[in-house]
Amino acid sequence: MSAIEITLEVNGDPVVGSAEPRTTLADFLREVAGLTGTHLGCEHGVCGACTILLDGRSVRSCLVLAVQAAGRSVRTVEGLVGPGGELHPLQEAFSELHGLQCGFCTPGFLMTAVELLEERPSPDEREVREALAGNLCRCTGYVNIVNAVLLAADRMREP
């Protein structure tokens, strides 16, 4: 299958690479862009581990083809870390409240939560649980993840 050269913006930087029409965006990010923070848990759009933001909206990068992302803007977990290495308030809160154990699903949860808090800065617990319902975690039982998102929301609202 012939590869096509595509350009997309990933975490603010242009990435140029070749992708076959069938190459998933997740594989492109991991194998071509070298960003392995986006994880593959089911490759059929249910577990949410590969969630990224495409033009600001959360998508399952296992269900998007790389060529569909050409010319568009992608944000991944790597882009949450500040220029000086400082953690995003969500990353900080996940760690502080033990919202992760093995951490494999965590990048997907973080990106889903980023979208939630950008749209809705003061969610209640129910809204957080609903927003996260498309991400599977086998380790934590979710309670500390939910609390971490609520804590990060509080901190991000502070002036």
Partner 1 sequence: MPEEVLRLAEARHVGTRLRRREDARLVSGRAQHVGDLRLTGTVHASIVRSPLAHARIGSIDATAARGAPGVIGVYTAADLEGRVDPMVESAREDLSPRLAELVDLEVRSLPMPVLATDRVRWLGQPVAAVVATDPYLAEDAAALVEVDYDPLSAVASAEAALEPGALVLHPELPDNVHARLRVTAGDVDRALTEADHRLRERFELGRQVSNAIEPRGVLASVEGGVLTIRATNNKPHLVRTFVSRMLRIPADRVRFVSPDMGGSFGGGVFPEDVLIPFLAYDLGRPVRWLEDRRENLLATSHGRDQVHEVEIGFRDDGTVVALRDTFTMDVGAYNTYAVTVPYNTVTHLRSQYRIDHFSVDGLVVLTTKAPAVPVRGAGRPEATFVIERSMDLVARALGLDRAEVRRRNLIRPEEMPYDMGIPYRDTVPMRYEAADFPAQLEAALEAFDYEGWLEHQRVARSQGRRIGIGIAAFIEGSGHGPFEGAVVRIDESGHVTLLSGARPHGQGHETVLSQIVADQLGVRPDDVDIRAGDTALLAYGRGSFASRTAVMAGNAAAIAAARLREKVLRVAARVVGADPLELRIEDGCVRWPGHPDVEMDLRRVAAEAAPGPRSRVDAGEQPGLEETAYFVPPTATFASGTHLVAVEVDADTGGVRVLDYVTVDECGTVLNPTIVEGQVHGGVAHGLGNALLEEAVYDEDGQLLTTTYLDYLLPTSMDVPSVRVGHQAFPSDRNPLGVKGVGEGGAVAAPAAIVNAIEDAIWPSPVRITRIPVAPERIVDAISAVGGAATDRATQEDAAG
Binding site for partner 1 (CB under 8 A): 20, 22-23, 30, 35-44, 46-47, 49, 76-78, 80-81, 87, 91, 94-96, 98, 100-107, 110, 128-130, 132-146
Other Cβ atoms within 10 Å of 120 Cβ, number: 13
b/e for 82-106, b at 16 or more Cβ within 10 A?
eeeeeebbbbebbeebebbeeebbb
Instruction: Say if CB 53 and CB 115 are below 8 A apart.
Output: yes
- Nearest approach in angstroms of CB 152 to partner 1 is 11
- Nearest approach in angstroms of CB 108 to partner 1 is 9
Which residues on adjacent β-strands are paired with residue 59? 52
For partner 1, the closer of residues 71 and 126 by Cβ is 126
- Nearest approach in angstroms of CB 70 to partner 1 is 19
For partner 1, the closer of residues 34 and 56 by Cβ is 34
- Nearest approach in angstroms of CB 142 to partner 1 is 4
Q: What is the DSSP letter of 87?
A: P
